[in-house]
């Protein structure tokens, strides 16, 4: 089943209110006492099982290759000189080992937690690799050319290295499990008999990584249970958005039957803005699809509706891209930043830098660094009043650095050191950013869906001309449209393309005052 096109849905937007002093603040939905108790728990970021198992494969390959090479140069090459067939044999055996471990299901996070079962399978797979190598050497009539001392040493030393490495990995995985870093924090939609059956089916599975936080349901009659198979009802479906912004939620699982299509679509219109996986349970459905249409939570079949964008290795690649490329850009831009700072200091009194509250990933509030472009006594850290053309608050230097976007360069500190910005992504709008006295999320449907990924210094919308002042509905709608396209089509090459196009977009200097 193909994931639903996010741009085809309409999200529910939050609305602002005002304090008695007239200062606008964001209205936050109230949560029930049980939901607040869970939301207030200290939760650490999750580690991706896909990345952990991938790193285990790389670690095994590097460790065993080094073991074989060190033994070869320490014993064989010292006496007989270096020859390439040994190197080829080492890397062939190491590759065969990784494949054998994969076939033996040794690259599963659940297996890393075990001891006896893991080590017996590892011993068997490692032995099979050596027996296979001995068999190939025999039939190729190369047995007399292979050092038996090296081969025995490679077998024993490699096995010892693997055991030591897996003991360390087991300790790490068990610690991460205790800290909740391997849990998939899950909420269930549907507090009825279907929800009870689903929860019991999930809890009955061994080695499950699901942690069910609670159940949400809009119904208040006898069909909605306050306690669903021992799991409390935390609130209504509308509360899930606020709940997922206060604590880590990895999966939203619908227990509703497929026949409840209208209810499901209405709920998805509210939930698709979240950076979480959303699935529809198929364990009670009479209509069956081909097995490949399902993804499974243990033995429970589910249909994928939305997937969290940029996860697992994609997230690692984006992080490395940001830190490495961002660090290089920061080094190159340092002299320019020093000159801009000097010009600001000479032009008007006040600090060189200022911090502004902006929306980050999943609506979190982050402090973004910028060069000061307004007169200090007229600073607007909440961006409650949009800067317009010929705005008298803008200094002489400020007008130049805003037009050329040099005022954004300090955001490289956010990218390289704080990690709450990316080089490329949806631009982080100010928390109180407005369009004609309306907050941006009031002006365009689906606005908060752009916060499903980390914001960036530049983005797809910016290089396509949608930057600067937002004074019409079209401008904010186009920004959101381009941001959603970027999220759905992300790749490292796409990031690189946007980054390379950014200087040309800045030279055009359109809409930036």
pLDDT tens-digit map of 410-440: 999 999 999 999 999 999 887 777 666 667 7
* Residue 171 domain flag: yes
Find the mean pLDDT for residues 255-284: 86
* Residue 513 domain flag: no
DSSP run (H or E) holding 49:
helix 49-71
Average per-residue pLDDT for the chain? 85
Degrees, nearest 5: CA angle 477-271-23: 60
**Measured in whole angstroms, how far is the alpha carbon of residue 88 from the centre of its chain?**
38
CB 506 within 8 A of CB 405: yes
Examine the domain organization and report whether 162 and 79 are in the same domain: yes
Q: Which of 257, 273, 308 lies at the terminal end of a domain, its last residue?
A: 308
pLDDT tens-digit series, residues 80-124: 666 777 888 899 999 999 999 999 999 999 899 888 889 999 999
Examine the domain organization and report whether 209 and 236 are in the same domain: yes
* Residue 132 domain flag: yes
* Residue 492 domain flag: yes
**Measured in whole angstroms, how far is the alpha carbon of residue 6 from the centre of its chain?**
18
Examine the domain organization and report whether 376 and 498 are in the same domain: yes
Examine the domain organization and report whether 395 and 280 are in the same domain: no
- Phi, psi (deg, nearest 5) at residue 243: -60, -45
Examine the domain organization and report whether 346 and 243 are in the same domain: no
CA 244 – CA 320 distance, rounded (Å)? 27
Tokens 């490692």 locate to 126
Examine the domain organization and report whether 27 and 171 are in the same domain: no
Q: How many domains would you assign to the chain?
A: 3
Examine the domain organization and report whether 136 and 199 are in the same domain: no
Find the mean pLDDT for residues 175-179: 92
pLDDT band at residue 18, thresholds of 50, 70 and 90? Answer: very low
Is the C-alpha dihedral spanning 63, 68, 69, 75 positive or negative? positive
**Tokens representing residue 231 in the block:** 């799991």
Residue 2 has pLDDT above 60, yes or no: no
Examine the domain organization and report whether 77 and 20 are in the same domain: no
Examine the domain organization and report whether 228 and 145 are in the same domain: no
CATH of the domain at 295: 3.40.50.720
pLDDT band at residue 7, thresholds of 50, 70 and 90? Answer: very low
What pLDDT was estimated at residue 143?
Answer: 56
DSSP run (H or E) holding 152:
helix 148-178
DSSP run (H or E) holding 383:
none
Q: Which of 246, 273, 308 lies at the terminal end of a domain, its last residue?
A: 308
Within 8 A by CB and 6+ apart from 386, the residues are 433, 434, 469, 470, 471
Examine the domain organization and report whether 383 and 326 are in the same domain: yes
Q: Which domain holds residue 334?
A: 313-508
Residue 77 has pLDDT above 60, yes or no: yes
Pairwise pLDDT comparison (448 vs 56), residue with the higher score:
56
**Tokens representing residue 129 in the block:** 């690799």
Within 8 A by CB and 6+ apart from 510, the residues are 465, 467, 468
**Measured in whole angstroms, how far is the alpha carbon of residue 206 from the centre of its chain?**
27
Percent of all residues in the chain with a pLDDT value above 90, rounded to a whole number = 50
* Residue 1 domain flag: no
pLDDT tens-digit series, residues 368-417: 999 988 887 777 666 666 666 777 888 888 888 888 888 899 999 999 99
Q: Which of 158, 178, 198 lies at the terminal end of a domain, its last residue?
A: 178
Residue 141 has pLDDT above 70, yes or no: no
CA 14 – CA 30 distance, rounded (Å)? 12
DSSP string, 96-142: HHHHHHHHTT-SSHHHHH-SHHHHHHHHHHHHHHHHHHHHHHHHTT-
* Residue 57 domain flag: yes
What pLDDT was estimated at residue 186?
Answer: 95
Examine the domain organization and report whether 372 and 299 are in the same domain: no
What pLDDT was estimated at residue 374?
Answer: 87
Residue 407: C-alpha distances to residues 54, 127, 256, 281, 427 (Å): 40, 62, 50, 49, 14
What pLDDT was estimated at residue 290?
Answer: 64
Examine the domain organization and report whether 135 and 234 are in the same domain: no
pLDDT tens-digit series, residues 19-68: 434 444 445 678 889 999 999 999 999 999 999 999 999 999 999 999 99
């Amino acid at each position: 089943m193909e994931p639903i096109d996010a741009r085809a849905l309409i999200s529910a937007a939050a609305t602002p209110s005002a304090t008695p002093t007239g200062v606008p603040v964001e209205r936050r939905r109230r949560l029930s006492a049980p939901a607040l108790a869970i939301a207030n728990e200290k939760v650490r970021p999750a580690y991706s099982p896909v990345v952990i198992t991938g790193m285990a494969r790389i670690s095994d390959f590097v460790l065993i290759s080094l073991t074989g090479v060190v033994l070869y140069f320490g014993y064989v090459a010292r006496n007989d000189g270096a020859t390439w067939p040994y190197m080829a044999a080492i890397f062939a055996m190491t590759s065969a080992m990784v494949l054998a471990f994969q076939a033996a299901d040794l690259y599963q996070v659940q297996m890393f937690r075990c001891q006896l079962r893991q080590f017996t399978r590892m011993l068997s797979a490692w032995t099979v690799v050596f027996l296979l190598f001995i068999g190939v050497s025999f039939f190729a009539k190369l047995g007399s050319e292979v050092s038996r001392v090296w081969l025995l040493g490679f077998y024993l030393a490699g096995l010892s290295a693997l055991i030591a490495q897996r003991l360390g990995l087991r300790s790490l995985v068990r610690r991460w499990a205790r800290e909740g870093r391997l849990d998939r924090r899950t909420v269930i939609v549907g507090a009825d008999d279907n929800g009870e059956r689903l929860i019991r089916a999930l809890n009955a599975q061994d080695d499950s990584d699901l942690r069910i936080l609670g159940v949400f349901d809009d119904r208040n009659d006898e069909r909605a249970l306050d306690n669903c198979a021992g799991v409390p009802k935390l609130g209504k479906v509308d509360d899930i958005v606020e709940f997922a912004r206060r604590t880590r939620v990895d999966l939203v699982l619908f227990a509703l039957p497929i026949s409840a299509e209208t209810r499901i679509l209405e709920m998805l219109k509210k939930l698709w803005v979240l950076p979480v996986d959303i699935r529809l349970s198929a364990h009670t459905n009479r209509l069956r699809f081909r097995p490949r249409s399902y993804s499974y939570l243990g033995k429970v079949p589910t249909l994928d509706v939305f997937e969290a964008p940029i996860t697992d290795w994609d997230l690692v690649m984006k992080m490395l891209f940001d830190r490495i490329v961002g660090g290089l850009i920061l080094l190159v831009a340092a002299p320019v930043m020093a000159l801009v700072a000097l010009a600001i200091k000479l032009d008007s009194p006040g600090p060189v830098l200022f911090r502004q509250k902006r929306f980050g990933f999943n609506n979190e509030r982050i402090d973004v660094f910028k060069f000061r472009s307004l007169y200090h006594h007229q600073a607007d850290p909440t961006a409650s009043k949009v800067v317009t053309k010929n705005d008298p608050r803008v200094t002489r230097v400020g007008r130049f650095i805003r037009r050329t976007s040099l005022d954004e360069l300090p955001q490289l500190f956010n990218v390289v050191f704080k990690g709450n910005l990316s080089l490329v992504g949806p631009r982080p709008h100010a928390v109180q950013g407005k369009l004609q006295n309306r907050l941006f999320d009031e002006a365009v449907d689906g606005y908060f869906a752009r916060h499903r990924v980390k914001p960036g210094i530049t983005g797809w919308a910016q290089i396509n001309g949608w930057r600067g002042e937002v004074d019409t509905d079209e401008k904010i709608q186009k920004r959101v449209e381009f941001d959603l396209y970027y999220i759905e089509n992300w790749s490292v090459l796409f990031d690189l393309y946007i980054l390379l196009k950014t200087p040309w977009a800045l030279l055009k200097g359109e809409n930036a005052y």
